[in-house]
A = this chain, B = another copy of it.
């Protein structure tokens, strides 16, 4: 039976105190979901208080959803965690995908880093080293832009592997690209119009809109963002991923890149945000030079993340600012504390500096290339291969599958789900639905085990016609 001493209740009334005690027991799981509470009369007798006091406390708990009543049976503890899951279904991505994973045989939507990757062992080893080597420096505040050691390693990496000449002084480190988009809006102004790709990664537009900035969606042609369509808008800032567009996979050729830089050059207020989110995973040939590296007018903000290349649970991203914007940052936003802890900044600096990042990327690239080759083979060997067409650019962790079918995209996705396959269609990524290309599925193979791929393709193809 619930037992509470009322001696410490201070100025609270008996009923308030009882209400709080029970609520606390529920919140801290001392009372379990669906556990039956004593009847009002029993509890009143047990605690030597009046039934009306218990009644008031129970009423308040019911009103606030901590307990529920079953007619003719009594009061029970509510599921406050499942309420949590329900309320925050958009947010609890990890849990949600864990659920989906249990339901689906294979998931071609979710991004994930391969299991058993040796990354984690090395990362924790370096974290231990960081903690023992020089504990004092971990207690010194990081500069707003991140510790110099990390920015220097990033600059070196960008030089060696991306051919970019960047000073550590141009780099701003932050807890995720989403945080950095917010900083960019503070640098360029919330009153600007931001242009994003259509189709595209819908989070980006959401972030601009959540920050009260205007956002226009620009259609793509085969080379990426359409400059004609861009010119028809009042947009001053263009947010693109020219090296490997999500979800179409388009690699913007150099001619179009110059056209975009030329667009940017036409007003002092124009800037291009180059989101280079998966440039590490180009499989064939050299990496495409970044837009930033051919920009001589300081119009490009380059942004990239370690959350994608290392692990999504590590929140470290960075951007490279043109000198002029870096000055604005230092002058107007330099008061911000850096959002990444010194522990993780030093660990990452050491991870890159000791060559582990390069090795990790190379290992991941091989892993993903194998995955891709495996699934391509399965598709090509399928009896219905003549009724689909693969579109990919030797890059990234996904490709497109055009299907010659009369089914709608909704039917394709629904059929796949019925067969145990989670998949998305290209049309889902369009803002302007009338422009959208139908009958095209997005195959993100990063989250599917290699030994499941053949069966997964089989299950997927079942529902295509």
- Chain A residues close to B by CB (< 8 Å): 20, 23-24, 27-29, 80-81, 83-84, 87-95, 97-98, 113, 120, 124, 127-128, 131-132, 135, 138-145, 148, 152, 155-156, 159, 165, 167-169, 175-176, 178-179, 182, 185-186, 189-191, 203, 206-207, 210-212, 307, 311-315, 326-327, 329-344
Q: Which residues of B contact A189 (CB under 8 A)?
A: 212
Query: What would 9 A/B residue contacts be, using CB atoms closer than 8 Å?
Result: A27-B167, A80-B169, A91-B145, A91-B329, A91-B335, A120-B139, A179-B339, A315-B338, A344-B344
With contacts A210-B186, A341-B315 known, is A113 near B128, CB below 8 A? no
Bound-complex Cα distance A330 to B330 (A): 33
Choose among A141, A167, A311 the residue with the greatest number of B CB atoms under 10 Å from its CB. A141
Q: Which residues of B contact A212 (CB under 8 A)?
A: 189-191, 212
Tell whether, in the assembled complex, residue A88 and residue B143 are in contact, meaning their CB atoms are under 8 Å apart: yes
Tell whether, in the assembled complex, residue A27 and residue B190 are in contact, meaning their CB atoms are under 8 Å apart: no
Tell whether, in the assembled complex, residue A87 and residue B330 are in contact, meaning their CB atoms are under 8 Å apart: yes
Tell whether, in the assembled complex, residue B88 and residue A330 are in contact, meaning their CB atoms are under 8 Å apart: yes
Cβ contact of A120, chosen from B92, B135, B148, B211, cutoff 8 A: B135
Tell whether, in the assembled complex, residue B330 and residue A90 are in contact, meaning their CB atoms are under 8 Å apart: yes
Cβ contact of A139, chosen from B90, B152, B203, B313, cutoff 8 A: B313
Bound-complex Cα distance A143 to B23 (A): 24
Shortest Cβ distance from A314 into B: residue: B341
Tell whether, in the assembled complex, residue B90 and residue A141 are in contact, meaning their CB atoms are under 8 Å apart: no
Q: Which residues of B contact A326 (CB under 8 A)?
A: 87
Bound-complex Cα distance A338 to B313 (A): 9
Q: Which residues of B contact A142 (CB under 8 A)?
A: 94, 313
Shortest Cβ distance from A141 into B: residue: B94
9 closest cross-chain pairs (CB), A and B: A91-B334, A94-B141, A91-B144, A90-B334, A175-B339, A92-B143, A190-B212, A313-B342, A175-B175
Cβ contact of A340, chosen from B98, B135, B175, B338, cutoff 8 A: B175
With contacts A127-B127, A343-B127 known, is A206 near B335, CB below 8 A? yes
Q: Which residues of B contact A28 (CB under 8 A)?
A: 152, 155-156, 159
Tell whether, in the assembled complex, residue B144 and residue A210 are in contact, meaning their CB atoms are under 8 Å apart: no
Shortest Cβ distance from A19 into B: residue: B165
Write the nearest CB–CB distance from A267 to chain B, whole angstroms: 20
Q: Which residues of B contact A139 (CB under 8 A)?
A: 113, 120, 311, 313
Tell whether, in the assembled complex, residue B211 and residue A330 are in contact, meaning their CB atoms are under 8 Å apart: no
Tell whether, in the assembled complex, residue A87 and residue B143 are in contact, meaning their CB atoms are under 8 Å apart: no
Shortest Cβ distance from A128 into B: residue: B128
Write the nearest CB–CB distance from A107 to chain B, whole angstroms: 14
Write the nearest CB–CB distance from A105 to chain B, whole angstroms: 20
Tell whether, in the assembled complex, residue A165 and residue B23 are in contact, meaning their CB atoms are under 8 Å apart: yes
Write the nearest CB–CB distance from A22 to chain B, whole angstroms: 11
Bound-complex Cα distance A238 to B287 (A): 50
Tell whether, in the assembled complex, residue A90 and residue B120 are in contact, meaning their CB atoms are under 8 Å apart: no
Write the nearest CB–CB distance from A101 to chain B, whole angstroms: 11
Write the nearest CB–CB distance from A117 to chain B, whole angstroms: 9
Cβ contact of A343, chosen from B93, B337, B338, B344, cutoff 8 A: B344
